[in-house]
Structure 1
Amino acid sequence: MKHLYLGIDCGTQGTKALVLDSQSGQVLGLGAAAHTLIQGENGRREQDTGQWLEALQIATRQALNNAGVSGLQIQGIGVSGQQHGLVLLDADGNVLRPAKLWCDTESSAENQQLLDWLGGDTGSLERLGLVIAPGYTVSKLLWTRRHHPQVLEQTAHILLPHDYLNFWLTGRYCSEYGDASGTGYFNVRTRQWDLGILRHIDPSGVLEQALPQLLEPHQAVGTLRPHVAHLLGLNPNAVVSSGGGDNMLGAIGTGNISPGIITMSLGSSGTVYAFNAQAQISPDASVASFCSSSGGWLPLICTLNLTNATSAVRDLFGLSVEAFNTLASQAPIGADGVSMLPFLNGERVPALPHATGSVQGLTLTNMTQANLCRAAIEGTTFGLRYGLDLLRRNGLQSQAIRLVGGGSKSALWRQMVADIMNTPVVCTEQSEAAALGAAIQAAWCVSAGAETLEDLCQRCVRLESNSQTHPDPTHVLAYEQAYQRYREQVSALTE
């Protein structure tokens, strides 16, 4: 008998679904459906939660068809979601307004106001174990109180995107430590909600009463609501696990559940994170010492500009991905002196929220498409190196980098990461790491201690041996010079 689990990942651009046989460790089928953004010039980035539900249904059906299995065989479901998003529900469980997303910067002023109230970076670190940033959920609550007070008056439940999907599946209002870490009203050391911050935002007490119940990572939210099981064609007794944020479940999906491994995601934004068994709070404001969804902690850095910046250059020149990579590979390391600071969205790491992108070092001889393509990849990768240096400075050991995300498919980019980080790189066989992590977590939850998470990861997380890339010592030296140039240019901005 097969042990089948469904992993769902609700991201910014779309929802992915994956069917896993946890006994063989094989991914049997995949499905995907896109979302659209509601955008505004003031930094508004919102989404209609109805799209998430529609996409979940489409992606699930696709994955089951692709796997050639019946949904009635599914024993458990895990949900991964984009972090920091704000979903507000009334007492009947109806969504009150579109979800504000992680990439929404409309509440930057409110974030600064809350940070000042906490006592700046130092006060925020002491109280919460991390420094709140504009993308976190907490400033979205203050923004809502200011701009939509009538919505706040009706609010009975405050959920994150993955919490909302769990509610839709089971009817229960729950959250788990990993995703809760990114709200800005959760203490990562004690793993408890910070009610005082919510009382400061709303003295009436509505917000603190609207918080979901916190679960341990291995705990179940519940089983499927009968009408949802019928709608999705799934086993009505299928257990929904606690789930988590996309980074936390991406860690499980890359086997990053013990010290020594670093996961690096080359998506539209870039993330670097590693497991820690203790809460080691970093004094660096840019390092988010989140909890993991596997029972530990997950110190993490996030850059806001990665494949969005390389795609912008690609679109500018009207190039396919292959043509872009070919051109970039024709330019030398350091792009003949051309550098790009790719801060098209502002930037979180380095901490430059109001920065814009720039190209420097251009001359009549080096202003070529090849140099500009290479400078875009180098500039975004230097941002990840900056973040990795912060993590290493805080004691993280890394013997290997596990690479996921769209950029990891490029052999040129893999070699660049290995050389710039001076660390061996390998891709995981399954690039949908968060959906895989969600399915593995569901199997862990259903096994109720009969199987360890380590056993499951060992069986289900597979490395792509032909993607193994080692640093080239001559490249390492050349990139070091180019990286120091990047650091000087960043310093000039901060001055």
Structure 2
Amino acid sequence: MTTQQLFLGIDCGTQGTKAIVLDAASGEVLGLGAAPHSLISGANGRREQDVGQWREAFALATRRALLAAGVSGLDILGIGVSGQQHGLVLLDPQGQVLRPAKLWCDTESTPQNQRLLDYLGGEQGSLERLGVAIAPGYTVSKLLWTREQHPQIFQRIAHILLPHDYLNYWLTGRCCSEYGDASGTGYFNVRTRQWDLALLRHIDPDGRLEAALPELLEAHQPVGRLLPGIALQLGLNPRALVSSGGGDNMLGAIGTGNIQPGAITMSLGSSGTLYAYAEQPRVSADAAVATFCSSSGGWLPLICTMNLTNAAGAVRELFELDIDAFNQLVAQAPIGAEGVCMLPFLNGERVPALPHASGSLLGLTANNLTRANLCRAVVEGTTFGLRYGLDLLRQNGLQSQSIRLIGGGSKSPLWRQMVADIMHTPVVCTEQSEAAALGAAIQAAWCESHDSGQAQSLAQLCQRCVRLDASSETLPTAANVAAYQQAYERYQQHVATLLKSE
């Protein structure tokens, strides 16, 4: 019998924290745990979180995962942390948190982002300089916003951390970051993999921000070992190694085995994401494609749509339907919803680039105005947004043999078939839908193997620990592909009209 090698993977998201216990020797996930967070919402698009909730949820989700796995925390060899990208956590010289964390979905710093974008020479200037076009969700505009809105807090900044960096600091006492998550800050050059110090000096000529930057780590390098008090509090092995961790998309890539060219990961969550591994930083001329670094030593060209299951959920709730009843109505309507097209931009949209757009229903007639067509139109409309993003990635040289599907929407066979047909690409789900938490655990095993002198390749670990659900494999149907292509072209025409008026 093989000795177990137990690792803990944590994913600190917007809505909650997930924990996974992985036996890296067998590749089996032994237990899962979760605990919720709440949002602090305010005027002007304020979306913040109390980082104390992250710590409490980390402890609770960990306890639940260990209990579900039936193992002792003292047998955990390593911990990996995945975090929501772009969030800003500010610490004072004593390591105390200065204010709630500003999140990726916060748009309060939109004016500051625009001024920084103007300074960089617009989206093209930002792409040339940084390899990404900064957007309001990125961390950089949050720094300028803090300087302008909270000058006294700004004066006390000693450390600038991303959400996963902060949790690593809490666990180990060390301030550091890894290249994948760092590349979503907006003050990092994704081609040279270095901080853009001049941009930070533009925000703060006194050099405070530059001095507050964390040290950068390679993906396979550990942050350190657990602080004794934290190990005791969490009931974990005090010798457990904490890996570099990463952003949720970067560790979702590892958790779906997306660490070499060919596979695409698509997440059907409240928002939609689509990303693929690249060996070189091929920066797209289209600002909607973010060429982030991966947390596996390469790059991760990525697109994100703001409206996905949240838009479908809004229509479902409007008609007071449960998920099964909603899916039945979607299935009743034909492909193309008899000409009904929904542009589901309820929160504006990132891809297509329509930040000021609102949602609209087009093509309605007295004959096609049915609940079934409206339900179908919202699911098609959100999926067409992902197709729009996939086209951008393909124009940038992405080779896509298969799509690995994760997120809540991936559980629907109907939606899986729709994705396969609209993308004209085979689709398969991974057995473990908590891909970011699994990726964090796999990365911890990779780090620990290097540290213990028994280095395993990340590819070996992914081969053993990432399992595809054969029963979910879905192939495109030729007749459906052709029908969806017509409906997609209609969607593109409507989007083109909106893009002209933006």
Match of 1:308 among 307, 310, 316: 310
The alpha-carbon deviation at position 333 of structure 1 amounts to 0.4
SS of the residue corresponding to residue 363 of structure 1 reads coil
Q: Find the counterpart in structure 2 of residue 465 from structure 1.
A: 470
Deviation by residue 1:130-149 (Cα, 9 ceiling, x = unmatched): 11111100011111111111
CA distance in 2, matches of 1:382, 1:110: 31
Q: How do 1:409-428 residues align onto structure 2 when only pairs under 5 Å count?
A: 409-428=411-430
CA distance in 2, matches of 1:458, 1:288: 27
SS of the residue corresponding to residue 302 of structure 1 reads strand
CA distance in 1, matches of 2:365, 2:145: 45
Q: Find the counterpart in structure 2 of residue 232 from structure 1.
A: 234
Q: Find the counterpart in structure 1 of residue 335 from structure 2.
A: 333
Q: Find the counterpart in structure 1 of residue 490 from structure 2.
A: 485
Q: How do 1:164-313 residues align onto structure 2 when only pairs under 5 Å count?
A: 164-313=166-315
Q: Does 1:452 align with 2:457?
A: yes
SS of the residue corresponding to residue 43 of structure 2 reads coil
Q: Find the counterpart in structure 1 of residue 319 from structure 2.
A: 317
Deviation by residue 1:33-76 (Cα, 9 ceiling, x = unmatched): 11111112311111111111110000000000000000000000
What amino acid sits opposite 2:474 in the alignment?
T
Deviation by residue 1:386-430 (Cα, 9 ceiling, x = unmatched): 000000000010000000000000001000000000000000000
CA distance in 1, matches of 2:17, 2:109: 26
Q: Does 1:64 align with 2:66?
A: yes
Match of 2:377 among 375, 378, 386: 375
Match of 1:130 among 121, 127, 132: 132
% of aligned pairs identical? 75
The alpha-carbon deviation at position 124 of structure 1 amounts to 0.7
What amino acid sits opposite 2:147 in the alignment?
R
- TM-score, structure 1 as length reference: 0.99
SS of the residue corresponding to residue 42 of structure 1 reads helix
Q: How do 1:336-351 residues align onto structure 2 when only pairs under 5 Å count?
A: 336-351=338-353
The alpha-carbon deviation at position 271 of structure 1 amounts to 0.4
Match of 1:161 among 160, 163, 175: 163
CA distance in 2, matches of 1:477, 1:370: 21
Q: How do 1:23-42 residues align onto structure 2 when only pairs under 5 Å count?
A: 23-42=25-44
CA distance in 1, matches of 2:367, 2:229: 66
CA distance in 1, matches of 2:120, 2:181: 21
The alpha-carbon deviation at position 490 of structure 1 amounts to 0.6
The alpha-carbon deviation at position 323 of structure 1 amounts to 1.0
Q: Find the counterpart in structure 2 of residue 46 from structure 1.
A: 48
Match of 1:436 among 431, 438, 450: 438
CA distance in 1, matches of 2:379, 2:354: 19
Match of 2:86 among 64, 84, 87: 84
What amino acid sits opposite 2:249 in the alignment?
N
What amino acid sits opposite 1:242 in the alignment?
S
CA distance in 2, matches of 1:171, 1:322: 47
The alpha-carbon deviation at position 177 of structure 1 amounts to 0.2
CA distance in 2, matches of 1:151, 1:312: 38
What amino acid sits opposite 2:82 in the alignment?
S
CA distance in 2, matches of 1:356, 1:109: 20
CA distance in 1, matches of 2:14, 2:187: 23
SS of the residue corresponding to residue 219 of structure 1 reads coil
How many residue pairs match? The answer is 495
CA distance in 1, matches of 2:112, 2:266: 30
What amino acid sits opposite 1:419 in the alignment?
D
Q: Does 1:145 align with 2:147?
A: yes
The alpha-carbon deviation at position 268 of structure 1 amounts to 0.6
CA distance in 2, matches of 1:395, 1:321: 37
Cα RMSD over matched residues? 0.7
* Alignment gaps of 5+ in structure 2: none
CA distance in 1, matches of 2:316, 2:225: 45
Q: Does 1:97 align with 2:91?
A: no
Deviation by residue 1:430-459 (Cα, 9 ceiling, x = unmatched): 000000000000000000062100000000
What amino acid sits opposite 2:489 in the alignment?
Q
What amino acid sits opposite 1:55 in the alignment?
A
What amino acid sits opposite 1:460 in the alignment?
C
CA distance in 2, matches of 1:392, 1:16: 32
The alpha-carbon deviation at position 319 of structure 1 amounts to 1.0
* Alignment gaps of 5+ in structure 1: none
CA distance in 2, matches of 1:405, 1:180: 24
CA distance in 2, matches of 1:320, 1:16: 25
CA distance in 1, matches of 2:385, 2:413: 19
CA distance in 1, matches of 2:489, 2:47: 34
4+ residue runs of structure 1 moved beyond 4 angstroms? none
The alpha-carbon deviation at position 365 of structure 1 amounts to 1.8
What amino acid sits opposite 1:88 in the alignment?
L
What amino acid sits opposite 2:265 in the alignment?
T
What amino acid sits opposite 1:103 in the alignment?
C
Which segment drifts farther, 366-375 or 261-270? 366-375
Which segment drifts farther, 358-367 or 384-393? 358-367
CA distance in 2, matches of 1:243, 1:158: 17
What amino acid sits opposite 1:466 in the alignment?
S
SS of the residue corresponding to residue 140 of structure 2 reads helix
Q: Does 1:366 align with 2:368?
A: yes
CA distance in 1, matches of 2:100, 2:382: 31
What amino acid sits opposite 1:481 in the alignment?
Q
Deviation by residue 1:66-93 (Cα, 9 ceiling, x = unmatched): 0000000000000000000001111111
The alpha-carbon deviation at position 363 of structure 1 amounts to 1.7
The alpha-carbon deviation at position 6 of structure 1 amounts to 0.1
The alpha-carbon deviation at position 494 of structure 1 amounts to 1.3
